[in-house]
Structure 1
Amino acid sequence: MKVVFSETQRRHDPSFFLSSGTQRPNPEVPRRCDILLRAALGAGLTQIAPDDAGLAPVAAVHKPDYIHFLRHIHARWREIDGASAEVIPNIHPDRRNGAYPASAVGQAGYHMADTACPISAGTYEAALASAHTAYHAAGLVLDGERAAYALCRPPGHHAFADLAGGFCFFNNSGIAAQALRSRYDRVAILDVDLHHGNGTQGMFYGRSDIFTVSVHADPIRFYPFFWGHADERGEGEGLGYNLNLPLPRKTGDEGFLTALDVALDRIAAFAPGALVVALGLDAFEGDPFQELTVTTKGFGRIAARIASLGLPMAIVQEGGYVCDALGDNLASFLGEL
């Protein structure tokens, strides 16, 4: 198996984020790349760099005004007298169907869901390289690879078509799934991150060709709060093509695997031609977020269950933050594919 990784992804290096009103060090840092890449190579994967695919893969799932915003907002922001070094929104609209503001401050509020996705001088280039990484991994699957691992950072599953959030800017898993649609009539996205993939859900909520499934910590008291509940099933043509399986706090291996079996049975019923795995390692018992308690061996069991579907798959890295076992968790997952 190949691991796709771009060094350009290191250019995004956020200094902090706000959590419960408190400024804290941002956990989505370049060091994650070092740990995960070392683990992937140690597991026997071969490293390759993605091709520069331009904007077409991103524009297939993201709106033009949003792409333009991400590309130019940092330079515009820095022209504001007294502005912060990174773009951090301080106002948000109460609806999405109002006027589109001309100011950088207004657009930051419109296109950024929270304060966990600060934009610095290197963010756009890093996010685009991360998108290219996912797109290239999907291309390897289209070329006949059984599986490919996209080491993406910044991650993507909280990014909607025109909204950044939760450390995410371009929706890498969505980009990979859309690329796989060029050959397969139906593609499934299975998100096993600690947090619900709200951006991915929103991106495909009205579609029946991409089935979105997420196993995650119950959002009733946890990010992303407003999305990820069991009654969210899709809308219009997409009704019945979204499945959320929220888990109680501190759920461990057995509870996670029980929910995963439900997810895999539903994916099998959808009969997709290919699968995107939005791989979060932050359900780990020792992850800084500490909401679920999956073990290192548990990630191997998760991978083995997913592999039993027998589908070609693009594995797209989402969460999983710096802790002693981060690399071991990835190695455990990759070792069972």
Structure 2
Amino acid sequence: MRIFHDDRQRLHAPALELHNGGFTTYAETPARAEAILAVLGITETPPDRGDAAILAVHDADYLAFLQAAPGMWREAGRPGDAIPYAFPVVGRRPLKLSRIDALMGRYAFDATTPITADAYTSSYWSAQSAVAAAEAVLGDEHVAFALCRPPGHHAGADYCGGYCHINAAAVAAQALRNSGCGRVAVLDIDYHHGNGTQDVFWTRHDVFYASVHADPSNDYPFFWGHADETGEGDGRGATLNLPLPHGTRLDAFRRAQATALDAIARFAPDALVVSFGADTWFGDPISHFALETPDYSVLARDVARCSWPTAIVMEGGYAVDALGHNVASFLSGF
């Protein structure tokens, strides 16, 4: 299996995030990637394919803001990393905003995702890793892994959040479409719902999005991922959400994943993108499922049996000491 990662993905290193009413140590650290690399070993550096696939997913003004925000924050005399604090409740009106605080709220949906001086660079190369994995599975490889860090599935077309700035899984799916795949599916099996991916493809019929995740009635991101969300317009019926309760173990998770795979099979994709999060592990510090390390190979074998060309994109997983072994277990199932 070819594995893609660029060292620049580890540059983004916020010190703090706002969590449960106070500032705490940032959970999505470069150590996550380092822990995975320590177990998997050698990776390939992805080629730079430019921003065509990224711009096909993300708004150009939003990408420009990600690059400009750290400088604007410093020019305003602010210490530390840029973190938003004011958010529009009803909708983000297209006003001519100039103050950094207003722009942060315009382009973010939470206060857990600082924009550092390296956020754009790390996220750009995370997306390039995903594009390289997509290219690989359309070539001689049937499956490839993009060690994406920072993760991406919470980032929408014009917003960041949930530690995510550029949506690598959506970019991979779009790259597959750009390369001639008529239909692409995304299977999201991170603990948290991939609201950004859902939003990107919400009105499209050519990309099917299926997610198995914690019930958003009780868990982040709260406002997306409920079972009655199925898409709109041309995309109606091309979104499937399968929320599960706290404490979910392998049997229940596997049944939900089987439901997702059956729906994807009816969609008949030419290729699959898997948004894989290991934050479903029982010891994850910010999650509440109860999967064990050997369970990941079981879940992966179920996906592999479907025989679709598959690009695996890394999402969450915050128990750093176990993360590499959990990822290795999942990849071993292929």
Match in the other structure for 1:225? 222
Within the candidate set 125, 131, 136, 1:129 is matched to 125
Within the candidate set 94, 97, 118, 2:93 is matched to 97
Within the candidate set 80, 103, 111, 1:85 is matched to 80
TM-score, structure 2 normalization: 0.97
Q: In 1, are the aligned partners of 2:35 and 2:321 still within 8 Å (CA)?
A: no
Q: In 1, are the aligned partners of 2:70 and 2:116 still within 8 Å (CA)?
A: yes
Q: Gapped runs of 5+ residues in structure 2? A: none
Letter in 2 for 1:33: A
Is residue 2:62 matched to residue 1:66?
Answer: yes
Within the candidate set 298, 301, 304, 2:301 is matched to 304
Within the candidate set 265, 283, 291, 1:286 is matched to 283
Of residues 327-336 and 46-55 in structure 1, the stretch that sits farther from structure 2 once superposed is 46-55
User: How many Å apart are 1:143 and its aligned residue?
Assistant: 1.9
In 2, Cα distance between equivalents of 1:229 and 1:290: 18
TM-score, structure 1 normalization: 0.96
Q: In 1, are the aligned partners of 2:35 and 2:320 still within 8 Å (CA)?
A: no
Match in the other structure for 1:191? 188
C-alpha change, 1:98 and 1:57, in structure 2 (3 Å) is closer
Q: Deviations over 1:263-302 (max 9, x none)?
A: 0100000000000000100000011123111111111111
Letter in 2 for 1:215: V
In 2, Cα distance between equivalents of 1:180 and 1:55: 14
Match in the other structure for 1:200? 197
User: How many Å apart are 1:228 and its aligned residue?
Assistant: 0.4
In 2, Cα distance between equivalents of 1:298 and 1:211: 25
User: How many Å apart are 1:102 and its aligned residue?
Assistant: 2.0
In 1, Cα distance between equivalents of 2:253 and 2:25: 29
Letter in 2 for 1:147: V
Of residues 209-218 and 133-142 in structure 1, the stretch that sits farther from structure 2 once superposed is 133-142
SS in 1 for 2:321: coil
Match in the other structure for 2:9? 9
User: How many Å apart are 1:98 and its aligned residue?
Assistant: 4.2
User: How many Å apart are 1:96 and its aligned residue?
Assistant: 2.1
Matches within 5 A, 1:147-296: 147-181=143-177, 182-296=179-293
User: How many Å apart are 1:100 and its aligned residue?
Assistant: 4.0
User: How many Å apart are 1:239 and its aligned residue?
Assistant: 0.4
Within the candidate set 92, 103, 109, 1:107 is matched to 103
Match in the other structure for 1:32? 32
Match in the other structure for 2:44? 48
Q: Deviations over 1:184-212 (max 9, x none)?
A: 10000000000000000000000000000
Match in the other structure for 2:139? 143
In 2, Cα distance between equivalents of 1:324 and 1:36: 9
Letter in 2 for 1:177: A
Q: Deviations over 1:220-270 (max 9, x none)?
A: 011000000000000000000000000011101111001011001000000
CA RMSD of aligned residues (A): 1.0
Q: Gapped runs of 5+ residues in structure 1? A: none
In 2, Cα distance between equivalents of 1:98 and 1:111: 11
Q: In 2, are the aligned partners of 1:133 and 1:151 still within 8 Å (CA)?
A: yes
SS in 2 for 1:165: coil
Q: Deviations over 1:132-185 (max 9, x none)?
A: 111111111122310110001110000000000000000000000001112210
Is residue 2:113 matched to residue 1:117?
Answer: yes
In 2, Cα distance between equivalents of 1:98 and 1:127: 25
Percent identity, aligned pairs only, is 45
Is residue 2:18 matched to residue 1:18?
Answer: yes
Match in the other structure for 1:324? 321
Q: Deviations over 1:277-331 (max 9, x none)?
A: 0010000001112311111111111101110110001000000113432111111
Q: In 1, are the aligned partners of 2:31 and 2:320 still within 8 Å (CA)?
A: no
In 2, Cα distance between equivalents of 1:128 and 1:101: 25
